[in-house]
Structure 1
């Protein structure tokens, strides 16, 4: 199978994934900036005197993860469920934990290692992290969380959708 064939076969799903992703980015950046400019701002005294940019990133990402699970479960991958909701949420959480590490890592490297501490630099690092996290998420969702029956048969995984 060619990449073009794979993309054509999954065009609708990729479009839905992208729409949810864009909405998730808006949620992520909105919460990040509300926290970064509000209770977790560098000059704020909430939760200590340290700069809490990575904490703001983690909280924003967790909020966007919950939004995305609801949207992906109900729309993007609606016909591909093969797990009970509780197990699906756990798998979704594990995939997103990996993506969160990628996203927060991008902000941490930029902010703390490279010393790029302006709001602009934090947002650029956040967007780069979101891009890398998106790749991680799609692969994880397709392979583990919302794999269709054909995918499960190829990987030898049994369904527990009942």
Structure 2
């Protein structure tokens, strides 16, 4: 027979051990999601602005919007989401980040192109739905590729906080 008093504490310990095991991944995914959500809003706003207000074609508007949102996403991911990972040079990271985003952009452009030119759905709602589908597919690729090639695992532990420089403790 199971002691009922022991049950909840065993469950709490189990949940706590699961959290401890996956805490770093959970925090990283949360930060990645926040940056991605903000970049998505920038992308969506810029896409609609370029296409519906300025009058640029849907695929060109998508490329311009993605360029703007990718610049924001790089800064957010480098200096917040993946700051604990080794910095292998901003030039290298920036190039790879934009290369991976260029590949992910293909998902969005293909979905928008298919929706607009093959299905002949060129209204704003169809454009935005196609954009959401393309961004969703691209996001899966981006998260995987950033961890694999752009923001590499640290070879030496990086301190969570920077040490106080120049502060004397002997007073």
Would you call these one fold, judging by a TM-score over 0.5?
A: yes
Where do 4+ consecutive residues of structure 1 move more than 2 Å? 4-9
Deviation at 1:83, TM superposition (A): 1.2
1:11-160 superposed matches below 5 A: 11-40=26-55, 52-149=57-154
Gaps of 5+ in 2: 1-17, 156-171
Please, what TM-score do these two structures have when normalized by structure 2?
A: 0.75
Return the alpha-carbon distance in structure 2 between the equivalents of residues 32 and 53 of structure 1. 8
Kindly report the root-mean-square deviation, in angstroms, between the aligned alpha carbons of the 2 structures.
1.7
Q: Deviations over 1:36-87 (max 9, x none)?
A: 112225xxxxxxxxxx111001100111000100110110000113311001
TM-score (norm 1): 0.79
Give the number of the structure whose alpha-carbon radius of gyration is greater: 2
Which segments of 5 or more consecutive residues in structure 1 lack a partner in the other structure?
A: 42-51, 151-162
CA contact under 8 A between 1:82 and 1:148: conserved in structure 2? no
